[in-house]
Amino acid sequence: MTASKTIGDYLIEQLQGHGVDHVFGIPGDYVLSFFDLMARHESLSLINTCDEQGAGFAADAYARVRGLGAVCVTYCVGGLKIANTTAQAFAEKSPVVVISGAPGVEERLNDPMLHHKVKEFDTQLRVFQEFTVATALLDNPDTAPAEIDRVIHAALRYKRPVYIEIPRDMVTKECPAHHTHPQAEETSDPESLKEALAETAELINEAERPVILAGVEIHRFGLQPQLLGFARKMGIPVASTILGKSVISEKSPLYLGIYEGATGREEVRDYVESSDCLIILGAFMTDLNLGVYTADIDPGRSIYAISERVSIKHHHYDDILFEEFVSGLYETNIQPRTPGTLPQPPTPDPVPAGNGNDPITAKRLFERLNGFLKNNTVVIADVGDTLFGANDLLIHEATEFLSPAYYASLGFAVPAAIGAQLANPRHRPLVLTGDGSFQMTGMELSTLALFKLNPIIIVLDNKGYSTERPMLDGPFNDILPWNFSRIPEVLSAGKGFHVTTEAQLDRALDNAEAYQDGFSLIHVSIGRDDRSPALLRLSERLAQRVRK
Amino acid sequence: MTASKTIGDYLIEQLQGHGVDHVFGIPGDYVLSFFDLMARHESLSLINTCDEQGAGFAADAYARVRGLGAVCVTYCVGGLKIANTTAQAFAEKSPVVVISGAPGVEERLNDPMLHHKVKEFDTQLRVFQEFTVATALLDNPDTAPAEIDRVIHAALRYKRPVYIEIPRDMVTKECPAHHTHPQAEETSDPESLKEALAETAELINEAERPVILAGVEIHRFGLQPQLLGFARKMGIPVASTILGKSVISEKSPLYLGIYEGATGREEVRDYVESSDCLIILGAFMTDLNLGVYTADIDPGRSIYAISERVSIKHHHYDDILFEEFVSGLYETNIQPRTPGTLPQPPTPDPVPAGNGNDPITAKRLFERLNGFLKNNTVVIADVGDTLFGANDLLIHEATEFLSPAYYASLGFAVPAAIGAQLANPRHRPLVLTGDGSFQMTGMELSTLALFKLNPIIIVLDNKGYSTERPMLDGPFNDILPWNFSRIPEVLSAGKGFHVTTEAQLDRALDNAEAYQDGFSLIHVSIGRDDRSPALLRLSERLAQRVRK
């Protein structure tokens, strides 16, 4: 222990020590003194969004790119607005630190009815316990540093959100300058790890045609190099789930494409399902990832490793760390092999010159975007045909695709662009959003403008909730048409383009690429019934459940 | 019991039976079959908003006006977006029925990872238990009707939100056509009621200068006529809290104005605090209602009745219904009296002709709006100077003022206008919102346009989070300036006006009044430091706590 410091300063130092240089949020009186303190730390940037929901999504994207993110809001009226974004971070394993201001400890005496209070003073804390892996109420200066350490450690260990509530009279309270106790380092049980790796090697060696199915945890645990090294050394091809899209460069010769059961590309399905040894690494076995349960995967010929456990055929190991298992694969006695011909994703056409006056279609848009991707493009797709169509985009480098492909909350993409570009300013986000999802959170363009960011936003306008129409249609799927490309006039910022033909799309993309000083919004109007083949297959599956 | 019907039909019938003709929400696959069922009921209108948050606020406003409201959303990605709006409805006693779709009972077997699932299948249910008075999971057709009855009864009894989760495979399941068991009618203990009323009469008769302080529960329980009848018969003047503003017509000769301790009008404070018998009816004793604890109210000379209890001086009755107590006051043996001169709110000037080119100020705006109010105007104020400035508006008839004056969540006003006008189409809302709160939810103008509603929206633009600046200022209080009046061009609907001078305000109001076919948005630009005196007093009080 050295000299004391304040609880607020300690929290800020710990965030910065773990790579958090930007905090997203909106101030309010219960959190104002902490905002003021953050603003005094010159190396920390405060990013105030239009609505707290935007801050929550931005922090989630930042965490996916940086490895840790933070959102800071006021008590209840701010915090409860990000219940959904935090639930998404939990479901999809994104380590977001939620910091909420709160009434002071002294103000809480005698249980008064302070503004923003819902029922009890701990109502918000209890709500966040439902979708975080650790929570702390910093009401005691003596324990606050250890509590901060514990909670941030949990976020990093489990790649999931945590919650810190700081009563406003605690922000400037002195606390022991607790030097981070290193939390006891967890390791695998060495005998279990050895046994599981030996079993894995044996199964792979016995197999004719092993395949790796890679999921998003490869990305969350930063294991892309280990995955690629292993696949290359052993000559084993790799498919990925939708949520895991881009865990390896999609231009790699070992890459097969997205596997998603009957709703994905047929050749990938055949290749994966006919494999006699499937090595599933860090994939969530969710309905959308698996093509709404059309996946036909036999556990008897599978190795399945995720952060919670490792399963081989029908038995399980509970004491193996995911990262140690994946890293250990490289050193096993697996016989390298040369894979035969792989059903690789089709190379995108080099933008065939069509008739410029043809109406633009979803299919053509994605073909054209495939040629538009650069090495510094990060693709951020909202839920809907923007996500399913985006499956066909060939991502150049690893981890340049962000999407809520499991939890599937609409409205993620525009605010996520704020977080993604601040987390890695080398990247220029290409945002794919629908007209419905844009209407939820798209005005966070304002935040992009305020902080001078320059993503390119494609609004794929198919005139309502198009994913739902094939399931069950009705007036509830209709929304007001917006002139999205006029929004820059409201904000006095950015550039807007309205596209109805192929030639207009080409021009808009060229202009957007050349315009570096702000965001570009490209409104692409397609027909009401123009859907990608992937979406049609998927919604047919979903419809069976809706109509049941 | 008569013939059977489906669970979905039963729920819809019960909602309609209690006056719910509009349901706010956004569809999603888990709730699609219920949306489809609702759409088939021609007398029920589905109002799909831009974001679920807007639907939550709209349903809250609808409930405040109609006595019951409903919001219908999909599982988790929809439901958790309205955690905050439901918490507000709980805190401010607004009876909203939250209906969420959910995975089917059969789909839940073996605990699969379905899309939108956070942790456990009951995660969302448990979150809503934190801010509702009753919850039901309709997973059993035999008990579903009774469960629906129980939950809706609780919403009506306690004037607070309730939660109903309907697994999608239950929507069309047959259930007994349960004819509403009338829930056992609660009544007061007759002896307690008699004793409390007698005590009250005695205290009032002994007093020189009794005063009624009326709060929002008068409105929630529909007791405005009883309150006014009692006050008139006995000649007792009435002040109201901010949250209760407009529980009686503010043009009534017995109306004193808003009481809010040191932050309100001095004459009202003196009159109320020097009273020797204060009759507090349905007021929440909250910090903002009481001028951040500057109120000086002596329980020893007070009668305090709310829905939870009746207190007289220092003793309490727990078995008296609020509505029976308030209704009973009329028949007590209180000696009618003639009140002396009352410190009534100043009558607004009949719009003195100023210099038209003078820059518009907050003060002038509210003066001008006072002359603009009609008998069919319902004023909806967002939090900020729009709320505090609105205190000085003289509301013509009872219950024509809506605002989240206790929970104080920003972004309420525009979506609330949707709910308020649909709940009472005779009303034309006058919405007062700030630039900050508009940026949160203001694009719900789109929903106003989609459903052809015609509120007049004033955006009071003081260039950022102006309520916070006097407490602690920093760049985090700055936001991007928007050209709000250009938004109609994005929506191809409504009319926009930008006002910087007095003459422009007059013209914009005239035009907005004449334009009946859609919304009008009036962007009023005032100085960054132009605040109402009420806000300055309030934020000075709040600042003391922030800086503590």
Q: B190-331 — its CATH code?
A: 3.40.50.1220
- Measured between CA atoms, how close is B123 to chain A, in angstroms? 6
* Residue range A456-484, pLDDT digits in tens: 999 999 999 988 888 889 999 999 999 99
Do the Cβ atoms of B342 and B364 come closer than 8 Å?
A: no
**Residue-level pLDDT at B339:** 86
**Residue-level pLDDT at A293:** 58
Residue B71 three-state SS: strand
**Residue-level pLDDT at A3:** 61
CB contact set of B477 (below 8 Å; sequence gap of 6+)? A27, B464, B465, B466, B468, B469
B308 touches chain A (CB under 8 A): no
Do the Cβ atoms of A151 and A158 come closer than 8 Å?
A: no
Cβ atoms < 10 Å from Cβ of B179: 10
The chain A residue lying nearest B446, using CA atoms, is A480
Of A29, A487, A546, the CB nearest to B490: A487
> Is A190-331 in the same CATH topology as A2-177?
yes
Residue contact B479–A450, C-beta within 8 A:
yes
Do the Cβ atoms of A125 and B300 come closer than 8 Å?
A: no
Of A284, A285, A439, the CB nearest to B443: A439
Confidence of residue A1 (pLDDT cuts 50, 70, 90): very low
CB contact set of B29 (below 8 Å; sequence gap of 6+)? A468, A471, A542, A545, A546, B74
- CA separation (Å) from B317 to B270, B304, B306, B312? 29, 10, 11, 8
Cα A445 from Cα A414, distance rounded (Å): 7
Q: Give every strand in the sheet of B401-402, ordered side by side.
A: B401-402, B377-381, B428-434, B456-461, B520-525, B495-499
Cβ atoms < 10 Å from Cβ of A224: 18
Confidence of residue A352 (pLDDT cuts 50, 70, 90): low
Chain A partners within 8 Å of B406 (Cβ): 113, 115
Q: A540 pLDDT exceeds 90?
A: no
**Residue-level pLDDT at A308:** 86
Strands A238-240 and A428-434: unpaired
* Residue range B373-423, pLDDT digits in tens: 998 999 999 998 888 888 878 877 766 899 998 899 999 999 999 999 999
- Measured between CA atoms, how close is B308 to chain A, in angstroms? 14
Q: What percentage of chain A has pLDDT greater than the value 70?
A: 93
* Residue range A281-313, pLDDT digits in tens: 999 877 766 655 566 778 888 999 999 899 999
A285 touches chain B (CB under 8 A): yes
Cβ atoms < 10 Å from Cβ of A42: 6
Residue contact A53–B53, C-beta within 8 A:
yes
CB contact set of A361 (below 8 Å; sequence gap of 6+)? A526, A527, A530
For A2-177, which CATH superfamily applies? Thiamin diphosphate (ThDP)-binding fold, Pyr/PP domains (3.40.50.970)
**Residue-level pLDDT at A76:** 96
Residue contact A126–B130, C-beta within 8 A:
yes
Cα B240 from Cα A53, distance rounded (Å): 34
Residue contact B483–A472, C-beta within 8 A:
no
What the block records as the tokens of A125 is 């804390």
The chain A residue lying nearest B451, using CA atoms, is A480
Q: Scan residues 43-82 of B and list those with Cβ closer than 8 Å to A.
A: 46, 48, 50-53, 76-77, 80-81
Q: Is A149 annotated as a binding residue?
A: no
Going through A420-542 in order, the beta strands assigned E by DSSP cover 428-434, 456-461, 495-499, 520-525
Q: Scan residues 210-229 of B and list those with Cβ closer than 8 Å to A.
A: none
B294 touches chain A (CB under 8 A): no
Q: A194 pLDDT exceeds 90?
A: yes
**Residue-level pLDDT at B398:** 62
- CA separation (Å) from A202 to A190, A192, A235, B140, B178? 18, 15, 16, 50, 63
**Residue-level pLDDT at A392:** 78
Which stretch of DSSP H or E encloses residue A148? Answer: helix A144-158
**Residue-level pLDDT at A349:** 66
**Residue-level pLDDT at B531:** 85
**Residue-level pLDDT at B183:** 62
Every domain of chain A and the residues it spans: 2-177, 190-331, 362-546
Q: Which residues of chain B have pLDDT under 70?
A: 1-3, 178-184, 262-263, 288-295, 348-354, 398-399, 545-548
Q: Is B462 annotated as a binding residue?
A: yes
Q: Mean pLDDT over residues A206-231, rounded?
A: 94
Topology given in CATH for the domain delimited by A362-546: Rossmann fold (3.40.50)
Q: Is A261 annotated as a binding residue?
A: no
* Residue range A107-160, pLDDT digits in tens: 888 777 788 888 889 999 999 999 999 999 999 999 999 999 999 999 999 999
ipTM associated with this complex: 0.94
Q: Using CB atoms within 10 A of its CB, is residue A141 exposed (0-12), middle (13-18) or buried (19+)?
A: middle
For B362-547, which CATH superfamily applies? Thiamin diphosphate (ThDP)-binding fold, Pyr/PP domains (3.40.50.970)
Cα A509 from Cα B2, distance rounded (Å): 64
**Residue-level pLDDT at A294:** 63
What is the distance, to the nearest Å, from the Cα of residue B249 to the centroid of all Cα atoms in its chain? 17
The sign one gets for the Cα dihedral A150, A152, A158, A163 is positive
